[in-house]
Amino acid sequence: MADLKSSHVLSLNRNNPVNMPLRISYVIMALVLVMAGWLQMATLLLTSLFGFFALNLFNFHQRKCIAMSLYVLVIALIGLGLFYFSRQAYVVLPKIIDTTIPAVVEYAEKQNVELPFTDYASLKSLALTEAKDKIANVGRYTRQVGVQLALVIIALVVAASIFTGTGFLIEGDPHGKAGNLYVQVTRELSRRFQLFYQSFAVVMGAQIVISLINTAATSVFLNVAGFPWVTVILVLTFLFGLLPIIGNLCSNTLIVGVGFTISPKTALVALIFLIVIHKMEYFLNSTIIGQRIKNPMWLTLIGLVVGERLMGIPGMILAPVVLHYIKVECANFAGQSEPASKPSADADAAARPA
């Protein structure tokens, strides 16, 4: 991965023909992101980024053969883990639904809590029926699962191909003459993709670390408190942790709901524990991510909503990455009326090799 620390603030003067490849690369990059959402290719993009991220982590002492071996081994282990988890979840999730929803509703009845409905029995029936229907209809999406699985495999191969050095130009390509527009555009486009990947490494690298710490702390609590279905809850907690803001709400609802199946007191203790843990996450965010990512909450939430509408769950994961990438690119750009200045802290952070 090329080191982009030496990159200077860009000035796009329309009268300067040298900047034509740069402008073209921005247009292509924008089209790639738009098409990924429009054509539902977020899984391909996200898996490619995760694959390349893993390969860079495994690249000890620049030995690519070791990195590729570990990459294949980890993919096999993750595949086995997902297969095992899917079998467990298929059995456990209906049990969680059967026990959690009635326990929560029954507690509300005993406490005379005024809810925006009056028929508790119909609520129980409706909630259980809707939740079970969602699980029962999983078989209808077999074709979609097959397509997504194929995209995952293709993306893993693409990540490995890029890691091993395959670029836009192949040796002997007659169009690869130095100085022509094609070579200049591919060079600039490579820089766009490098910045985008580095934004992904900054955002997701920190998010994964925080999610692992959160899951480890939750694991201790669940085992001490005697929660059932610990394995399924922990896997879901880790996956939810990859979603900023909304992920915490999902994992909190799941854990507190299961806590009600033990006792209302356990649910309250679980809620207090989760509040403490998520307060600690603010410290972790400031320590691990530091000043490299500092988007306001409203902007992150809008990004999550737009990402979900365009690409589903993968779009929610990619939304903070895209926001950070746009920030870095804008930090490297100076308009005609603005003199060139030193790169921002965000640009420097994204330019650091993963």
- The answer to whether the CB of 73 falls within 8 A of the CB of 60 is no
Q: What is the largest CA-CA distance in the chain?
A: 79
Residues 6+ apart with CB under 8 A from 287: none
Entry pTM: 0.68
Q: Find, among 234, 53, 233, the residue nearest to 156 by Cα.
A: 53
In terms of DSSP H, where are the helices of the chain? 20-38, 42-58, 64-110, 120-136, 142-163, 181-225, 230-241, 246-262, 264-284, 297-311, 313-331, 345-351
Chain mean pLDDT for the chain: 75
30-77 confidence digits (pLDDT tens) = 998 888 888 878 888 989 999 999 998 888 877 888 889 999 999 998
Query: Which residues pair with residue 334 across a beta bridge?
Result: 11
Q: Is the pLDDT of residue 23 over 50?
A: yes
Domain segments of the chain as ranges: 14-351
Backbone torsion region of residue 61, taken as left when φ is above 0, otherwise alpha when ψ lies between -120 and 50, otherwise beta: left
Spatial distance between the Cα atoms of 116 and 297, rounded to a whole number of angstroms: 29
Q: 332 and 211 in contact (C-beta within 8 Å)? A: no
pLDDT score of 100 more than 90? no
Over the stretch 106-141, which tens digit does the pLDDT of each residue have?
A: 777 777 666 544 444 555 565 556 555 555 555 555
pLDDT at 354: 43
Predicted pLDDT of residue 291: 52
